[in-house]
């Protein structure tokens, strides 16, 4: 079943508004802290998460105050410096890639506006500690929510002028105008900067489709979060709303306790790529949104050894994966079929163990029964190396700890103890 994230930017968008809304949506603050520590959290800047309201609607406000004395070497202003800083950070590769993709969008827009090379782009407002923390926190939150598709309405723009290092600039500022080329927008007449360059870069990078009148297809909303901007606008609540859910299933989409999802199966046989090339291609498919890639070794015509690739793809990502196939492999054609699969609802949480923090993937039935708890491989490997234990032994220890948090019943079901989870 397709997971959908709706970025309802009815009052505009900025990095701190998005991050606050993700926390309101359920993104664990502990996971945000874990993401930002390699970037200087606790050393050069701090994290403040406050509850506030705009026009009577409760929301979360995020800020990153610098610690005194601030380490000015941590304030990166050129894209090349920021890129190297993020690449060197000890973070999940998918999170680093998403964060760098956002920064590249921003750098490309600034490069066009100022007519300089992308690597030499000098960020002002988007080069400080808080903007790097915003963007990398958003990248981690997007990875956490596991959305198959991200959609948004037309983007509202303000008017007037804003003061920055270049002097007085018209609203929307030139970088925002460049970033939103090709994106549906609406001019509100509100005398304020509703869309920041960081917010526009995130929308341009992650949104799969914009719906000028709002998302109209039937879907089920599972969670909602509000993030607050810095100002209190008179005309409307200065908030951004995130909604996470899934598309409406057809009448055959549930069988008993289980979800039944339609998914696309793409298949091809290749005999003119090396194993190394196929391995790199497999990684690219997964990064592009494939659910799974299965490779079989086969004998093809004239007894040539080859490989059959079977790729499971969400229906919403089919076009992107087909593009990736023809662009990055030597295949001349693809077999396509639409299949169905039973699956459990999945969510990633962080628990504290005696050996350190571990992300665990929790699988539930439609009724909410916890049926499987699996620690993340990367976290297990890191702890195993730290404790000088085998990966197998580390997994046993963590799973045993999970069993005390998520009790395993005689009928094979797990039942989550929320109180123990929060204490763990």
pLDDT at residue 15, as a whole number: 95
Residue range 324-342: average pLDDT? 91
Least confident of 21-35, 88-102, 152-166, 378-392: 152-166
Burial of 170 (0-12, 13-18, 19+ CB in 10 A): exposed
Segment (H or E) for 390? none
Least confident of 19-28, 63-72, 187-196, 319-328: 63-72
Is 70 exceeded by the pLDDT of residue 65?
yes
Predicted confidence (pLDDT) per residue in 131-149, tens digit: 899 999 999 999 999 999 9
Least confident of 75-79, 199-203, 247-251, 284-288: 247-251
pLDDT at residue 261, as a whole number: 79
Predicted confidence (pLDDT) per residue in 217-268, tens digit: 788 899 999 999 999 999 999 999 999 998 765 444 555 667 777 889 999 9
pLDDT at residue 189, as a whole number: 95
pLDDT at residue 252, as a whole number: 43
pLDDT-derived band of residue 411, with 50, 70 and 90 as boundaries? very low
Domains in the chain and their CATH numbers? 3-247 (no CATH), 258-343 (3.30.70.1380), 345-423 (3.10.20)
Distance CA 74, CA 340 (A): 49
Q: How many CB atoms lie within 10 A of CB 273?
A: 17
Segment (H or E) for 45? none
Distance CA 97, CA 281 (A): 17
Give the residue among 322, 275, 324 at the shortest CA–CA distance from 297. Answer: 275
Angle formed by the axes of helices 93-114 and 197-206, nearest 10°: 120
Q: Which residues are within 8 A (CB) of 350 and not within 5 positions of it... i.e. 6 or more apart?
A: 28, 30, 31, 34, 357, 358, 359, 360
Distance CA 208, CA 258 (A): 28
Q: Cα Rg for the chain, rounded, in angstroms?
A: 23
């Amino acid at each position: 079943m397709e997971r959908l994230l709706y970025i309802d930017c009815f009052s505009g968008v900025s990095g701190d508004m998005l991050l606050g809304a993700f926390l309101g949506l359920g993104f664990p603050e502990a996971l945000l802290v874990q993401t930002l520590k390699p970037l200087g959290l606790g050393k050069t800047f701090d994290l403040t998460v406050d509850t506030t309201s705009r026009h009577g609607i409760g929301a979360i406000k995020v800020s990153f105050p610098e610690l005194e004395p601030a380490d000015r070497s941590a304030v990166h202003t050129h894209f090349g410096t920021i890129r190297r800083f993020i690449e060197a950070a000890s973070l999940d590769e998918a999170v680093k890639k998403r964060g760098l993709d956002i920064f590249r969008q921003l750098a490309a827009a600034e490069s066009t506006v100022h007519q300089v090379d992308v690597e030499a782009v000098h960020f002002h407002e988007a080069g400080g500690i808080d903007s790097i923390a915003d963007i990398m926190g958003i990248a981690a939150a997007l990875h956490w929510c596991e959305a198959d598709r991200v959609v948004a309405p037309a983007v509202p723009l303000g008017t007037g002028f804003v003061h920055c290092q270049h002097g007085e600039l018209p609203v929307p500022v030139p970088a925002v105008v460049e970033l939103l080329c090709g994106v549906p927008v609406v001019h509100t007449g509100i005398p304020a900067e509703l869309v920041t360059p960081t917010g526009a870069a995130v929308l341009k990078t992650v949104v799969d489709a914009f719906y000028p009148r709002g998302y109209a297809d039937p879907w089920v909303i599972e969670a909602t979060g509000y993030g607050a901007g810095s100002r209190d606008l008179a005309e409307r609540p200065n908030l951004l709303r995130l909604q996470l859910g899934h598309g409406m299933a057809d009448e055959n989409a549930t069988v008993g306790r289980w979800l039944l999802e339609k998914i696309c199966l793409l298949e091809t046989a290749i005999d003119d790529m090396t194993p190394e090339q196929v391995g790199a291609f497999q990684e690219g498919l997964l990064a592009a949104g494939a659910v799974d890639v299965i490779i079989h070794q086969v004998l093809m015509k004239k007894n040539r050894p080859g490989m059959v690739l079977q790729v499971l793809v969400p229906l919403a990502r089919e076009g992107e994966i087909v593009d990736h196939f023809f662009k990055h492999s030597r295949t001349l054609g693809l077999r396509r079929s639409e299949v169905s699969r039973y699956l459990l609802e999945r969510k990633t949480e962080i628990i504290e163990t005696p050996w350190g923090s571990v992300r665990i993937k929790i699988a539930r039935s439609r009724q909410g029964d916890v049926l499987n708890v699996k620690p993340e491989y990367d976290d297990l490997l890191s702890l195993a190396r730290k404790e000088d234990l085998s990966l197998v032994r580390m997994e046993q220890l963590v799973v045993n700890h999970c069993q005390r948090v998520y009790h395993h019943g005689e009928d094979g079901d797990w039942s989550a103890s929320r109180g123990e989870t929060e204490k763990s």
